[in-house]
Amino acid sequence: MPVPNQAARAAALRCELERHGHAYYVLDAPTIPDAEYDKLFRELQAIEAEHPDLLTPDSPTQRVGGKPLPEFSPVRHVVPMLSIRTETDTEASGAIAFDGRVRRELGLTDVDPSLEYAAELKFDGLAINLRYEHGVLVQAATRGDGETGEDVTQNVRTIHCIPLRLTGDAPPVLEVRGEAYMSRPDFERYNEKQRTLGAATLVNPRNGAAGSIRQLDPALAARRPLSFYAYGLGETRDWNLPETHAGVLDALAAFGLPVCEHRAVVQGAEGLVAFHARIREARDSLPFDIDGVVYKVNSLVLQQQLGFVTREPRWAVAHKYPAEEALTTVESIEVQVGRTGAITPVARLAPVFVGGVTVTNATLHNEDEVKRKDVRIGDTVIVRRAGDVIPEVVSVVLEKRPAKDLFGGEPLHPAFELPKTCPVCGSTVEKPEDEAIARCTGGLFCPAQRKQALLHFAGRRAMDIEGLGDKIVEQLVDKGIVETPADLYALDMAAVANLDRMAEKSAANLLAAIAKSRETTLARFIFGLGIRNVGEATAKDLARHFGKLDALLAADENSLLQVSDVGPIVAASIVRFFAEPHNREVVEALRAAGVTWAEGEPAAVVSSSIAGKTFVLTGTLPTLTRDEAKDMIEALGAKVAGSVSKKTDYVVAGSEAGSKLEKAQQLGLTILDEAQFMELIGS
């Protein structure tokens, strides 16, 4: 039991060390010499070692890193960490376009006053969510997929500028979003030290930040010099929010969180353009990397009114700067096959340093782009890191193109030709006339598409194999256990139980889910095949129209065009899919594995009061799930769309309906609650 004066001394040391740390790491204004800080730190360590019950989560001694972790635990974000739209126009017109979009969404005219925006930097690091409860840091998580991230609390504790305890009157729960980054001076110092030790160096500051945060050994993370800037909020409880985004940042700074000084509140498009230009001039002098600036509507009320579109806020945009460029030569041109079968030409380059990294490959996007730019082996090309992330070939320096003889004339290398067959599986490569992307047609068979095909096949609206997620599919494919969806039905306990982190009960549940999926519907089966351009609604239309799978397999384009909502593009996709022998083989293997459904005669044309109508579902209905309502609508020959337009016939709205309901009201559409909807379909 510690004596009272030791407890008081420990508390005083914690406060003093945190104050000195904030002055050093956040304010860049040291208040005591390093030796004096170290002396106070060692005194606190000694007290905590003698009296472990005095150790608190917010103690500065907890920044040195804990025990190595076997893996990162998943963290479900209470408020999703969504990305913001990137404005690809890097000139002033990009800022003007954003202001115009916002004004149109708000219904403002030219005579209405300018909008107020918060403008800040777009940091080049790793997005982090900090959760404070009653002022104490209790958890830190990465963005992940936006819904679920990874628990990196131990590593984030090693970032000295992040307070372990907030100052002032903090709310019960405050989640702070921001960016972990590595400054250029810290990056150079770290690499110089590593070179002296003969150890591995970091490629660039961004990779250094991301790699440090995701180190399973916090002691290694603690040796990496990281910083942090706060730029937004996640979940909050019992906190009176400021009225503006700028006010939020001011409040976070008052809590002791680091907030970048390079921010401003500006008026209208003119203010955005001026900020973009000012930061562009100062970019090279900043001590950290940025890849653009961010504009946000300052009023939180207006932010809420503007809402989101496709999981991106309408009220914010990232405005990038022109990417860096360099000259290099093309050593070869190969093609890559993506997870969806897209064939992408890739230039293999003589290594060149661009935008902070050594680039050896660059995308050529598609066959049309290669021909338009006329990129050939041996060419000298301008390479750009598009969006500061994906390197691309911008253009060819034609005067440096190698020729067959010293005096010029015919080029040494021929023009690029797209391969006729997939380099991975040998299936036919096809490129529809109206599409830019060529694709491998072996969707169910092609190893490059294997993981995506399996995940789609197992999806909730397809075969609904619960428990067959990314990690399991990745292992099944990488270990060569599963090659096509049909192989899932040959899995046994021995194969599944040997997968990483797969307990016996989980393995049994997965096998039961696979077995259960053998009995399905023809519509689910068709959708599960992953035929390009065939969504869930189209799969239902095909099942209703043909009744039997064999009838669909035998259908030509003319027959398919008789199906409701099937046009020439969809019909051609279906014919191409089933014309590929490899896909036919997998379909037959699935039938041989016992996948069955009730087959019957083609369904009669649905005749109902809503047949052919278009519905939009929004909000939470009292008793029906979204899927149940959708099934009811489609069973009566109507369609369900994802967005509201003038072509929408009915909007079915539940609680928390949001922007779709507002747009429906603006357009004067028919809006139904659940009771009215049930009455309509009952009639």
**What is residue 65's predicted lDDT score, i.e. its pLDDT?**
47
Specify burial of residue 453 (Cβ count, 10 A radius: 0-12, 13-18, 19+): buried
Work out the percent of the chain whose per-residue pLDDT is above 70: 93
d(CA 31, CA 391): 45
Going by C-beta distance under 8 Å and a sequence separation of 6 or more, which residues neighbour residue 34?
none
DSSP class of residue 299? Answer: B
Residue 662 has pLDDT above 80, yes or no: yes
Q: What confidence score (pLDDT) does residue 16 get?
A: 85
pLDDT above 60: residue 570: yes
In this structure, whether the domain defined by 4-64 belongs to CATH 1.10.287.610 is answered with yes
* Spatial contact of 363 and 383, defined as CB atoms under 8 Å apart: no
User: Where does CATH 3.40.50.10190 sit in the chain?
Assistant: 614-682
Please state which CATH number belongs to domain 447-597: 1.10.150.20
Segment 212-229 mean pLDDT: 83
Q: How far apart are CA 395 and CA 370, in angstroms?
A: 10
For the annotated catalytic residues, the residue numbers are 122
Q: Is the pLDDT score of 76 beyond 80?
A: yes
Average pLDDT over residues 371-393: 81
Written as six digits, the tokens of 255 are 């809590």
Pick from 106-115, 150-159, 343-352, 596-605: least confident: 596-605
Higher pLDDT, 503 or 107: 107
| pTM: predicted TM-score of the whole model, two decimal places | 0.50
Q: Is the pLDDT of residue 486 over 60?
A: yes
Which spans in 26-91 are helix H?
Answer: 34-50
Is residue 410 pLDDT above 80, yes or no?
yes
Contacts of 7 (CB under 8 A, 6+ apart): 51, 54
Q: Identify the pLDDT of residue 318.
A: 93
**Are 293 and 263 contacting, i.e. CB atoms less than 8 angstroms apart?**
no
Cα–Cα distance for residue pair 191/195, rounded to 1 Å? 6
Q: Looking at the chain, which residues constitute the CATH 2.40.50.140 domain(s)?
A: 325-400
Mean pLDDT in residue range 371-375: 89
Tell me the C-alpha distance between 292 and 119, whole Å.
11
Q: What is the mean pLDDT of residues 490-499?
A: 91
- Residue whose structure tokens are 């209703």: 544
Q: Which of 30-34, 215-219, 615-619 has the lowest mean pLDDT?
A: 30-34
Pick 438 or 230 by higher pLDDT.
230
Mean of the per-residue pLDDT values of the chain: 87
Return the biggest CA–CA distance within the chain: 92
Closest CA to 30 of 42, 38, 44, 20: 20
Does 355 have pLDDT greater than 70? no
Q: Give the pLDDT confidence of 519-556 residue by residue, as tens digits.
A: 999 999 999 999 988 988 899 889 989 999 999 999 99
pLDDT score for 320: 87
Average confidence (pLDDT) over 142-150: 87
Q: pLDDT at position 125, please?
A: 86
The class (CATH top level) of 325-400 is mainly beta
Statement: residue 44 has pLDDT above 70: yes
Least Cα distance to 516 among 476, 585, 463 occurs for 463
SS3 assignment, position 14: helix
Every domain range in the chain assigned CATH 1.10.150.20: 447-597
Q: pLDDT tens digit string along 292-337?
A: 999 999 999 999 999 988 778 999 999 988 767 789 999 999 999 9
Q: CA dist 369 to 10, 365, 514, Å?
A: 66, 6, 43
Q: Would you tell me which CATH number, out of the four given (3.90.226.10, 3.30.70.260, 3.40.50.720, 3.30.470.30), belongs to the domain 86-320?
A: 3.30.470.30
pLDDT of residue 659: 81
User: Is the domain defined by 614-682 classed in CATH 3.40.50.10190?
Assistant: yes
Is residue 151 over pLDDT 80? Answer: yes
Among 164-168, 344-348, 624-628, the range scoring the smallest mean pLDDT is 624-628
Task: Name the segment(s) of the chain with CATH classification 1.10.287.610.
Answer: 4-64
The arithmetic mean of pLDDT across residues 624-642, rounded, is 84
